[in-house]
Amino acid sequence: MDDSSGDTGGLPFGAAAPLEASLALDGDGSRIAQARHLVAAFLGKAKDHCGISIAVATVEIAQLIVSELVTNARKYAPGPALLQLRIHGPMLHVELWDSSPVIPAHDAPDPERIGRHGLEIVTALAHAVTMEHTPLGKRIIAVLALNPATA
C-alpha cells in the first residue's frame, strides 16, 4: 500500500519524503470499494504511525471524493486508471489518472437532474481541484485539508 521506500527522492537530508499510496484500477467495479479502503487505511496509518492530525470527517470526505473520481473514470475512460494519495504538509492530494483525454465539464447545478453530480460533489468538498491533460489521458487532482480546524 505505501509506495515510499525511505529514499528522500532528492530532498535535503533530514527532510521526510511525502507519504504516498497508490492503486491501479481497471474496469472491475470492486475497485471502487478497494479505493475507499485504501483511503481509510492510508489515512489511518498516517494518523497512528506518523502522528499526523487527521479529522474523522476528512477520512469520510476523502472516501467520497475517491468514490466519485473512480466511478467517473470507470464510466467514461476506456482503459486503466491510477489512484494516488499523497500527504504534503497539512494537505491530502488525491490524484486520479485515467486514459480519457476529455476534461470533465461542470454542469449547471440542477437539483432535479438525476446523475452527473460527481464533479459537483468533488469540487464542493475539496479545497482545490485541478484537471490537466497528460500524454495518455488526463489527471484530476483534488486537494483537501487533513484537519480543517488547524489548516
CATH number at residue 55: 3.30.565.10
pLDDT for 46-96, tens place per residue? 999 888 999 999 999 999 999 999 999 998 887 899 999 999 999 999 999
Rg (CA), the chain: 16
Domain with 118, as residue range(s), is 19-145
Grid cell locating 104: 470533465
Task: Give a yes or no: residue 1 inside a domain.
Answer: no
pTM above 0.75, yes or no: yes
Task: Give a yes or no: residue 34 inside a domain.
Answer: yes
Q: Output the CA–CA distances (angstroms, integers) from residue 119 to 12, 26, 72, in the order listed.
A: 37, 20, 9
Query: 7, 6, 41: which is closest to 21 by C-alpha?
Result: 41
Name the domain count of the chain.
1
Cα of 143 vs its chain's centroid, Å:
8
Asked if residue 63 lies in contact with residue 94, where contact means CB atoms within 8 angstroms, the answer is: no
Task: Give a yes or no: residue 12 inside a domain.
Answer: no
Task: Give a yes or no: residue 3 inside a domain.
Answer: no
Residue type, 107: D
Task: Give a yes or no: residue 6 inside a domain.
Answer: no
